């Protein structure tokens, strides 16, 4: 789902922040043929011999004529408006895989509850088909919206970015009071996997990780997933014209990640890396 209330500075999916469709550029594929500029009805695209293609995002009206005109796929439309039935048609293409693997459908984002009414109808349709359902959420939503959706959710994947409210607010744009309150309420409704996006210098101290582990035990989390930081979102952020402020953050070392896994596991929790 596109749309998210948080603005995490390390986000790997910045194209999911806004709920509307967006224009993504992949300049490495651009051959400077000029067809996109010719197709643009508002003149938002120009070609410079030295700088290459430039897009005036303030002038672009998101008609996506340039996407149609581009012969190499260096321009793409991020986000499509679909009905529940259209989405189910896509989901049902993997029907056999769900039953053979024992897996199912995971709704993620962005933040699924940013489109709570749609997600409610979608998951209801999934359960009607007999699919196992999961929701990957940051937890920043009204409890009334979340409680309704949980009726059709078998498993919740719940992100814990930081337990300190001010550090959380500084890094994501929102506090964490609502997130932690919802987490404790969810624990009495369905199974939970806690997910820690591991950001060096932000939330990787052993004191903080111990507190997250203790929280996992308190709510009866089935497991804790460590999601090591990587720079995958950086190119995408440039591609949609909103560069992320991740200067100075380096990928954590494999040995450090494994040590963190062992440390949290000593609290009596099942801990995995990257899943």
Regarding whether 193 and 107 lie in a shared domain, the answer is yes
pTM: 0.91
Regarding whether 92 and 46 lie in a shared domain, the answer is no
> Is residue 169 classed as helix, strand or coil in its secondary structure?
helix
Domain boundary among 41, 60, 78: 78
Residue range of the domain that includes 35: 22-78
> In this structure, are strands 104-107 and 75-78 parallel, antiparallel, or unpaired?
unpaired
Regarding whether 104 and 32 lie in a shared domain, the answer is no
Regarding whether 178 and 152 lie in a shared domain, the answer is yes
> Is residue 43 classed as helix, strand or coil in its secondary structure?
coil
Of 16, 19, 57, residue with least CA distance to 40: 57
pLDDT by residue for the chain (275 residues), tens only, comes to 999 999 998 999 999 999 999 999 999 999 999 999 999 999 999 998 888 899 999 999 999 999 999 999 999 999 999 999 999 999 999 999 998 998 999 999 999 999 999 999 999 999 999 999 999 999 999 999 999 999 999 999 999 999 999 999 999 999 999 999 999 999 988 999 999 999 999 999 999 999 999 999 999 999 999 999 988 888 899 999 998 877 678 889 999 999 999 999 999 999 999 87
Regarding whether 103 and 66 lie in a shared domain, the answer is no
Regarding whether 88 and 189 lie in a shared domain, the answer is yes
| Counted domains in the chain | 2
Regarding whether 181 and 69 lie in a shared domain, the answer is no
Give the separation between CA 137 and CA 150, rounded to whole angstroms: 12
Q: Is residue 12 in some structural domain? A: no
Supply the CATH number for residue 225's domain: 3.20.20.70
């Amino acid at each position: 789902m596109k749309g998210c209330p948080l603005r995490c500075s390390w986000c790997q999916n910045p194209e999911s922040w806004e709920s509307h469709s967006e224009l993504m550029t992949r300049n490495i594929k651009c051959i400077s043929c000029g067809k996109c500029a010719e197709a643009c009805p508002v003149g938002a695209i120009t070609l410079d011999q030295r700088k290459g293609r430039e897009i005036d995002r303030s002038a672009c009206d998101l008609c996506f004529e340039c996407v149609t005109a581009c012969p190499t796929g260096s321009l793409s439309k991020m986000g499509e408006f679909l009905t529940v039935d259209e989405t189910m048609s896509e989901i049902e293409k993997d029907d056999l895989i769900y039953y053979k693997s024992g897996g199912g459908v995971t709704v993620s984002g962005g933040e699924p509850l940013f489109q709570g009414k749609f997600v409610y109808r979608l998951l209801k349709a999934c359960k009607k088909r007999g699919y196992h359902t999961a929701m990957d959420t940051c937890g920043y939503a009204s409890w009334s919206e979340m409680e309704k959706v949980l009726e059709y959710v078998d498993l919740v994947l719940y992100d814990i970015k930081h337990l300190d409210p001010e550090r959380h607010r500084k890094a994501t744009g929102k506090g964490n009071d609502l997130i932690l309150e919802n987490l404790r309420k969810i624990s009495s409704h369905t199974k939970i996997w806690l997910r820690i996006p591991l950001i060096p210098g932000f939330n990787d101290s052993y004191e903080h990780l111990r507190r997250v582990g203790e929280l996992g035990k308190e709510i009866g989390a089935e497991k804790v997933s460590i999601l090591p930081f990587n720079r995958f979102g950086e190119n995408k952020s440039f591609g949609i014209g909103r560069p992320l402020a991740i200067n100075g953050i380096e990928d954590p070392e494999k040995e450090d990640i494994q040590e963190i896994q062992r440390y949290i596991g000593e609290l009596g929790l099942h801990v995995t890396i990257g899943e």
